[in-house]
Amino acid sequence: MTKTATAVTAPTLSFEQYQSKVAGLKTASDVTNFLKELIAPTLQAILEAEMAEHLGYQKYEPKGRGSGNSRNGYSQKSLRTSFGNTPLQIPRDRNAEFSAQIIPKHATIQSDVEEKIIAMYAKGMTTRDINAYMEDIYGIDVSASMVSSITDTILPKIAEWQSRSLSPLYPFLYLDGIHFKVRKDNRVVTKCAYIALGINERGHKEILGIWVGEAEGAKFWMGILTELKTRGVEDVLIVCTDGLTGFDDAIRAVYPAARIQQCIVHQVRNTLKFIPHKDRDKVAQALKTIYTAPTEVAGSLALEGVKKTFPQYALYLKNWETKWHLLSVFFEYAPEIRKIIYTTNTIEGLNRQFRKVTKTTSVFPHDMALTKLLYLAAADIAKKWTLPMQNWGSIVAQLAVLFPEKAAALINQ
């Protein structure tokens, strides 16, 4: 037999008593404590009203007899709210048909508290920090499993966001990966979070998707690009990447007309890591003459000059010649466009914010835990992207001339 809880009648205040209470409030703390006193009886009164509406008669009314359904005691529930833990008596009916709207079945925590926990999780706070904060401010105990359960409620949103339709044209597309430690089959492995960041026709940054997979590879990237195409991305004008081997072939397989610019900063870093410390600054200054040259011809001549100045490092500079067709694309454009494509700083800035959020977690328990945190962080970061890129009007005008077949799509936004 189910144990029936004894109903606790919520204390009510007359208008005069309410006025007297309000008149006695002197500080913000007094107001908070008064609201705490009101939350339980207010919720209890609403629950009773919902039950009366469900049954069609008020409590103790004679017409309730023989109606086919009636009240059947109460069950106890403790609801975590912004005012702390609130004990409630949930009314039951004999036919077990009643379901409170204000407090859904199985709900143990108020929606605004859930939102606070999700927001703190998105900022990279640990479950211990979240629990300490909620305990200190609201007197609520929030375990690690509860945080996980609450944040799991956004999983359907992640699936919807990851499969949403995208714009048909992205003038600029940045592709990069960040590596994290994730548990798999009782061991810790390195996983890559593949991130696609687009600049849409209106000049706004937009994260197109986040995919967690094995160590970064061109084959995986081709699958991502194919997915972007199926989600509506018909054209990409310029793709900016790091120096991953085979990346350009993967891009051309899906977007054959796209121009590909390999990040100059990555190229410089990869060269300097082989240079002895005593010459590193000198070589760095010499390399700067290449990517600050006014034209491709001047840049090519600057590269020859660096090779003559540092013949002992010819082996490391050979890579510049091999990849010149990918490194020199930015010379075709005016300074406004050069500035945003010769380096992947745009997406690296995003990656820095991701790392700031994830730094408190050394090892993620599984792929979905990583995806969940990156999605929440991305949603939080994107709130600040309210303005188009600097000089976007001038950039669109130049792109319309350089890509005349796409001019209408660019200008009509």
Which comes out higher in pLDDT, residue 121 or 224?
224
Q: How confident is the model at residue 130 (pLDDT cuts 50, 70, 90)?
A: confident
Rg over CA atoms, the chain = 30
Average pLDDT for 175-199: 92
Q: What pLDDT shows up at residue 147?
A: 76
Q: Would you say residue 6 has pLDDT above 50?
A: no
pLDDT at 137: 62
Which residues in 55-144 belong to E strands, given as ranges?
71-81, 84-93
Rounded distance between C-alpha atoms, residue 355 and residue 353, angstroms: 5
The confidence score (pLDDT) of residue 142 equals: 72
| pLDDT exceeds 50 at position 399 | yes
Average pLDDT over residues 50-61: 81
pLDDT of residue 88: 75
Tokens for 316?
A: 């490391």
Residue type, 133: Y
**Residue type for position 192:** C
CB-count burial class (<10 Å; 0-12, 13-18, 19+) for 140: buried
What is the model's pLDDT at position 39?
A: 63
pLDDT for res 163: 94
Q: How far apart are CA 345 and CA 240, in angstroms?
A: 10
Residue 93 pLDDT exceeds 50? yes
Q: The tokens of 247 are what?
A: 């990346």
Cα–Cα distances (Å) from 409 to 9, 153, 227, in that order, read 65, 38, 22
Pairing of β 84-93 and β 71-81 = antiparallel
Which of 133-137, 290-294, 332-336 shows the lowest mean pLDDT across its residues? 133-137
**pLDDT bucket at 31, cuts 50 / 70 / 90:** low
pLDDT for the residue numbered 308 = 95
pLDDT at 214: 81
- Would you state the pLDDT for residue 23? 66
Give the separation between CA 216 and CA 212, rounded to whole angstroms.
10
Choose from 3-12, 88-97, 162-171 the range with maximum mean pLDDT: 162-171
Q: How many helices (H) and strands (E) does the chain have?
A: 18, 7
Q: With CA atoms as reference, report the closest residue to 248 among 178, 320, 325.
A: 325
What mean pLDDT comes out for the span 260-279?
93
* Under 8 Å between Cβ of 287 and 279: no
DSSP class of residue 34?
H
Calculate the CA 8 to chain-centre distance. Answer: 44
> So what's the pLDDT on residue 4?
41
Question: What does the pLDDT average to over 36-54?
Answer: 72
pLDDT at 253 over 90: yes
3-state secondary structure 365-391: CCHHHHHHHHHHHHHHHHCCCCCCCCC
The H-assigned helical ranges of 176-272 are 218-230, 247-254, 264-272
- What percent of the chain has pLDDT above 90? 46
Residue type present at position 104: P
% pLDDT > 70, the chain? 81
The full set of domain ranges for the chain reads: 1-108, 110-163, 167-411
Question: What's the DSSP call for residue 364?
Answer: B
380 contact partners, CB below 8 Å, separation of at least 6 = 119, 122, 123
Question: Region 232-241: what's the mean pLDDT?
Answer: 94
Amino acid 205: pLDDT? 96
Angle at which helices 127-138 and 144-151 cross, to 10°: 100
> Is the distance from CB of 303 to CB of 283 less than 8 angstroms?
no
Residue-averaged pLDDT of the chain: 83
Other CB atoms within 10 A of residue 11 CB: 11
CA distance readout (Å), 39 to 18, 33, 153, 312: 14, 10, 25, 77
pLDDT, average across residues 221-235: 95
Q: What is the pLDDT of residues 46-55, one digit of tens each?
A: 778 778 888 8
pLDDT band (50, 70, 90) for residue 113? low
Question: In whole angstroms, what is the distance from residue 239 CA to residue 248 CA?
Answer: 9
Number of C-beta neighbours around residue 307 at 10 A: 16
In this predicted structure, what is the pLDDT of residue 104?
65
CB-CB contact of 262 with 327 (8 Å): yes
pLDDT at position 294 over 70: yes
Enter the tokens of residue 331: 């010379």
* Mean pLDDT (whole number) for 198-214: 93
At residue 8 the predicted structure's pLDDT band, cuts being 50, 70 and 90, is very low
Q: Residue-wise over 232-260: b if at least 16 C-beta within 10 A, else e? A: ebebbbbbbbbbbeebbebbeebbeebbb
Q: What is the rounded distance in angstroms from the CA atom of residue 50 to the CA atom of residue 60?
A: 15
Segment 314-371, tens digit of pLDDT = 999 999 999 999 999 999 999 999 999 988 888 989 999 999 989 888 888 889 889 9
Choice between 371 and 218, residue whose per-residue pLDDT is larger: 371
Secondary structure letter of residue 274 according to DSSP: T
State the pLDDT confidence band at 9, using cuts at 50, 70 and 90. Answer: very low
So what's the pLDDT on residue 48? 81
Answer whether residue 118 shows pLDDT above 80.
no
With 90 as the cut, is the pLDDT of residue 33 above it? no
